Amino acid sequence: MSAPFPVKWIENKHAQAIEHSPAVDHVLPRGMSRQARSFHRQIPGYRISPLKSLSNLALMLGVGGIWVKDESVRLTLNSFKVLGGSFAMYQFVKSKLGIEDRELSFAELTSDAVRQQLGEITFAAATDGNHGRGVAWAANAMGYRSVIYVHKYTSKARIKAIESNGAQVKVIDGTYDDAVRQVNLDAQQNGWQVISDTSWEGYADIPRWVMQGYTTMLSEAQEQFAAQGIIKPTHVFVQAGVGALAASAIGFYYQLFGQDKPVSVVVEPDAAACLFRSAEIGDGQPHSFPGDLDTMMAGLACGDPSPIAWRVLWDCADAFLSCPEYVAAKGMRVYGVPLAGDPFIVSGESGAVTLGALMFIMERPELQDLRDLLRLDHNSQILLINSEGNTDPNHFRRVVWDGVEQVPGEYKEYN
């Protein structure tokens, strides 16, 4: 039996056919990224995450530049996810207090006076690991309880990381999507407040705030590009689970540049390609992906797209990609053993799949049509997001040290 091909792809012709996206205006109204960043920079320990250049790898692949926004160092939490959860909780508190005419400082947000006004609150979330850890961290910083639901495939390391931030963790016998449904049911019974990065009917404000929070890293990246004399990247490759990060990144650039935005590519695991499937069906609606979603890319193991994220991606994403496990494993190893002169980057499974996909696209002759569609050449300046660091040490070592998920022989470039 032959190994799966490294990249399946589909062009999103709908994105080329529209002139304006109301979905972007709804999710990411102008000025919102400045508000999110103003909040985040007040958090103790906040630092701009680095934008790292893999210039020698770019030369080897025949592109102008590969730039990696390295979120593995974000607030010592090993992931970008805290940006979304904390901003959503900030917006939730503002709404509960009825504050509309001013911003709330982080000191005021975490003050005894605000806690007395709000009373006891338990924040709840479903997670593959990183989102729950961010919600637990933010709830702890604000002085509230948190309950985090995880699915049965969640590693012990990720569970311990959530618990270390003060949360109670409940393991659900099912997938991530089952955990989402269960935490919502239990929250209604127990009076908890759900902080989710995915939306459903009647629940859209908080997921929208989460997506707005993610834009902090994009506004940081724009400053960092400007320091290099680059107005914007020509391409954005972004990984996706429910689609919130992808929609935030692609929508951010659409809001800034309109039709002159970077070429945008959404990358998913073959075992949980709900956005790819939705694009393939092509009716403009989000569609679930069947199966047990068993992929090592734990942060992307989602079968149900977030409807509000999907609407942004349907309007704005240029292509959707689906990749097998070994593509992410290759990305992890290349980040960890870079070409001489390129920086070393610690990247988890979900963080590395975009680099692996880019390398196969540039190296495989069968993907010439995709290279042409995406206009990838020596002028391309490509932005990748390393969305997580080493969040599961045992599995990280199995991939990087032991060579788990090796590239099949027929797709190896170097023998």
> Is 128 part of the annotated catalytic residue set?
yes
Of 321, 242, 318, nearest to 286 by C-alpha is 242
Beta strands 8-11; 319-323: pairing state: antiparallel
- At 271, is the secondary structure helix, strand, or coil? helix
Helix (H) or strand (E) holding 280: helix 274-281
Q: What is the dihedral of CA 104, 106, 110, 114, to 10 degrees?
A: -10
- Which residue in 52, 69, 81, 330 is the catalytic one? 81
Catalytic pick among 52, 70, 128, 318 = 128
> Tokens for 117?
């006004």
Q: Say how far apart CA 404 and CA 415 lie, in whole Å.
A: 18
Among 5, 9, 6, which residue's Cα sits nearest to residue 369?
9
φ/ψ bin of 403: left (φ > 0), alpha (ψ from -120 to 50), beta (otherwise): left
DSSP 311-364: HHHHHH-SEEEEE-HHHHHHHHHHHHSPPTTSPP----HHHHHHHHHHHHHHH-
Residue 353's nearest CA partner among 300, 313, 395 is 300
* Look-up of token digits 């970008």: 80
φ, ψ (nearest 5 deg) of residue 266: -100, 130
One DSSP character per residue, 378-389 reads: TT-EEEEEE-B-
Looking up tokens 């002139």 gives 19
Q: Hey, how many other C-beta atoms are within 10 angstroms of the C-beta on 59? A: 16
Concatenated DSSP letters of 243-257: SHHHHHHHHHHHHHH
Active-site annotation, residues: 81, 128
